[in-house]
Structure 1
Amino acid sequence: MSDTSPADPVAEAFEAQRDRLRAVAYRMLGSHADAEDVVQEAWLRLSRQDTATIHNFAGWLTTVVGRISLDVLRSRQARSEASYDDRLPELVVTVDDGPAPEDDVALADSVGLALLVVLESLGPSERLAFVLHDLFAVSFDEIGQILGKSTAAAKMLASRARRKVQAAEHPTGAGREQREVVQAFLSAARRGDFEELLRVLDPGVKLTADLPHGVVVILGATEVATGAQSRVAAGSAVRGRAVLVNGLPGYVSWREDGAPLSVMAFTIVDGRISDISVVADPARLAAMDLPEPE
């Protein structure tokens, strides 16, 4: 197969669609690596297609990416892999340079961790119908064709998925306010201030920790606050820095030897932390693209 080239008008047209196609695949699959694979497969299929028969280029590519993504989701479900049932969604860590004018827009982006967690709970057909229609305005006629279902069935799948998404909590508050809540939590944990920890934690907070021996879930503000105090007291982190994790405030800590100790991601609703995701598995940390300690 020939590589994409600016001299090739089909390649130019594909490159103009690449970012959007990658976004579709990522929201479908929750993995940047899988999304890249799907987009590359779409290019290979396009290169084998007589483009003169394609009347709606963007629509054709969206359909192809949707079908490939659906195949990946169904394959995961058929294997019933624990790694997909229990794992945290892929965390993308970037440097947090502080609030910017576009900060609130970035934090409101529906690629956020909270939405990915909800999408992981949807069936493949529900997920495709919701993502393509609600996030990318693809018609139900087209979605039905991808799924091999009627337009009415596609609408029903999207509606069912939408109810599940709307029932889940979403991050609220401006970026600066969210950072302040996270900083208050970290400061209280370092000081061992149990009352302050309870103040910034939602009573029903859920902490999910990806540890070397598996995934551990802790529920409730009292349990999470107690665990936060004991972890800080016994921890070996000597350096840390604020980061953005999937666009939301987070924190990375390192050991004295420079090895990463943990990545924490926070979901804040109504001024309180409602969800904390922690990656402390050295193997997974080693595979992540983390910034350098400050």
Structure 2
Amino acid sequence: MTPPRVLTIAGSDSGGGAGIQADLKTMLANGVHGMSVIAAVTAQNSLGVQGYWELPPEAVKAQLDSVLGDIGVDAVKTGMLASPILVETVAEVLAGVAAPIVVDPVGVSKHGDSLLEPAAVDVVRARLLPLATVVTPNLWEVEQLTGVKVEAEEQMMAAAEAVLALGPKWALIKGGHLPGEPVDLLTDGETEYRYSAERHDNHHTHGTGCTLASAIASHLAHGEDVPDAVRIAKDYVTGAIAHGFGLGAGIGPVDHAWQWRPLDVVQ
């Protein structure tokens, strides 16, 4: 049987921990067929992003047309889109796609390196977020998109409402950078869900945002509703964080294959 089809539109991480590489690993681990449209190429390792280069918009459009015109999709995930013209190119095509769309509004890398031109933020707000089934900003991205600064869990609902005002159906506000046990808030403006998880003492967390968004897209493609897709994805990414491993001299990746490791490796 053909597995569900999920398309990631994002940047390539040469270190293999985030971006397209993390997305495809996550999709395989969550039982779907992953496909990719590369919007940018990064020179990246455990220490940071040394540079990135956008693909021409016609190359991004051609990749989209190739996949959508022949294979089709059951869900889409967007990540690093870098520039206004690439956001516009992707949004124009996705406006004609009926499948669920998960938008990870990538603005900065784990190491603090900018991955989105300032001028592109307005285009993300105006063109991409209104297409989203669910948008998955971290607290820095919430502030970038809405101006709302979150410093405590009780402020997360105000942040979610500000994000929802930009047009997505659901907002998932990721609270992992707040003190205490990590809590994420999901809402469509009417119903509220909170997802808590154990905080693991492991700084090898490169790729968490990409991984979570891709896992959500995978389970939407399986037919789960948004709250259940987020719950399953959260469980998966929590395990991946717990088993994150060191590579190089900096921050290593989460382990996308943690469920498949022998017990003497993952324990």
Taking structure 1 as the reference length, the TM-score comes to 0.26
Taking structure 2 as the reference length, the TM-score comes to 0.28
CA radius of gyration, larger in: 1
